């Protein structure tokens, strides 16, 4: 089990402010644990985006040569990465979605590495970063709906990206609230100090239940 201290560290503990804090705009840094969480979730999302991009290229190459390429994560008619990759929803902005992930998750890794180097950032930076993770969660939610009820197939690599995005969103939001970068009541700050982990776990659990309710034992057929 994750210790109480670890949860608090990952959630939001800031680095000490500089001696000239009164003379300059306030900047905030994160703990080592929070930085590592960003690096790990960013790396997980980047891995998923990279594999999907490679498989997408192989599918297109197969079509050109008159062959059919089946991604390794296509296990059955339901768990079928190929079906998801070839859907129109897989290019929601006019280009393959994973290309957006290659950039976005790379940025998350850069932020995490900067925090490991004890960098600090102003309020506008953290709020912009938070908005980026919010956009990521909203986009993932749309993709989840499309996957379950329109495409009728599930991509395992997409699922990894969903979990990574959900986790980073809740922890970044918690970080901003705990550091007074987002206005919030005291009870919420106290809750997030100990139980930030409950939010991504609950969020992912709801998605898992939706998947099981939608397909049940067909996932392993």
Look at residue 18 in the predicted model and tell me its pLDDT: 45
Look at residue 13 in the predicted model and tell me its pLDDT: 52
Does any domain span residue 102?
yes
Instruction: Please give the average per-residue pLDDT across 153-167, as a whole number.
Output: 97
> Positive or negative CA dihedral for 91, 44, 123, 184?
positive
Look at residue 163 in the predicted model and tell me its pLDDT: 98
Burial 206-220 (b: 16+ CB within 10 A, else e): ebeeebeeebeeeee
Does any domain span residue 193?
yes
Quickly state the pLDDT bin for 221 (edges 50, 70, 90).
confident
Look at residue 209 in the predicted model and tell me its pLDDT: 97
Is the pLDDT at 4 greater than 50? The verdict is no
Look at residue 68 in the predicted model and tell me its pLDDT: 87
More confident residue, 68 or 125: 125
Q: Looking at beta carbons, which pairs linking 204-213 to residues 24 or more positions away fall under 8 Å?
A: 204/162, 204/163, 204/166, 204/167, 207/144, 207/162, 210/144, 210/148, 211/148, 211/154
Distance of alpha carbon 167 from alpha carbon 199, whole angstroms: 8
Q: Is 2 helix (H, G, I), strand (E, B) or coil?
A: coil
Does any domain span residue 146?
yes
Tens of pLDDT, residue by residue over 54-75, are 999 999 898 888 888 899 889 9
Does any domain span residue 9?
no
Look at residue 21 in the predicted model and tell me its pLDDT: 42
Does any domain span residue 6?
no
Contact 203, 170 (CB under 8 A): yes
Tens of pLDDT, residue by residue over 6-51, are 444 454 455 444 444 455 678 999 999 999 999 999 999 999 999 9
**Comparing 65-74, 140-149, 178-187, 208-217, which segment has the lowest mean pLDDT?**
65-74
Domain with 103 in it: what CATH number?
Answer: 1.20.1440.130
Instruction: Please give the average per-residue pLDDT across 159-183, as a whole number.
Output: 97
pLDDT above 90 coverage of the chain, percent: 80
Give me the domain span that covers residue 112.
Answer: 28-215
Look at residue 10 in the predicted model and tell me its pLDDT: 54
Look at residue 66 in the predicted model and tell me its pLDDT: 85
Does any domain span residue 179?
yes
Joined together, the tokens standing for residue 86 give 């070839």
Closest CA to 134 of 126, 179, 73: 126
More confident residue, 76 or 5: 76
Does any domain span residue 54?
yes
**Comparing 8-12, 124-128, 154-158, which segment has the lowest mean pLDDT?**
8-12
- Number of independent structural domains in the chain: 1
Does any domain span residue 194?
yes
pTM of the predicted model as reported, rounded to 2 decimal places: 0.88
Is the pLDDT at 202 greater than 60? The verdict is yes
Look at residue 220 in the predicted model and tell me its pLDDT: 86
Look at residue 63 in the predicted model and tell me its pLDDT: 86
Q: Which residue has the tokens 């670890």?
A: 6
C-alpha distances in angstroms, 10 versus 21, 43, 175, 197?
Answer: 24, 17, 9, 9
Q: Name the DSSP letter for residue 150.
A: I
């Amino acid at each position: 089990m994750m210790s109480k201290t670890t949860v608090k560290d990952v959630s939001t503990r800031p680095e000490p402010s500089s001696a000239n804090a009164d003379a300059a705009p306030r900047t905030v840094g994160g703990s080592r644990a929070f930085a590592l969480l960003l690096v790990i979730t960013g790396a997980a999302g980047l891995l998923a985006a990279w594999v999907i991009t490679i498989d997408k290229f192989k599918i297109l190459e197969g079509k050109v040569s008159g062959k059919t390429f089946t991604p390794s994560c296509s296990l059955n008619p339901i768990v079928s990465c190929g079906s998801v990759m070839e859907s129109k929803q897989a290019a929601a902005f006019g280009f393959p979605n994973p290309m957006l992930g290659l950039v976005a998750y790379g940025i998350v890794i850069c932020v995490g590495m900067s925090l490991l180097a004890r960098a600090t950032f102003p309020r506008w930076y953290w709020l912009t970063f938070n908005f980026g993770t919010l956009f990521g969660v909203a986009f993932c939610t749309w993709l989840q709906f499309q996957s379950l009820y329109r495409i009728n197939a599930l991509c395992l690599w997409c699922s990894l990206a969903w979990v990574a995005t959900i986790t980073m969103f809740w922890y970044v939001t918690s970080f901003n609230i705990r550091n007074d970068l987002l206005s919030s009541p005291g009870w919420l700050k106290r809750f997030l100090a100990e139980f930030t982990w409950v939010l991504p776990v609950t969020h992912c659990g709801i998605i898992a239940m939706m998947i099981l309710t939608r397909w049940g034992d067909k996932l392993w057929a």
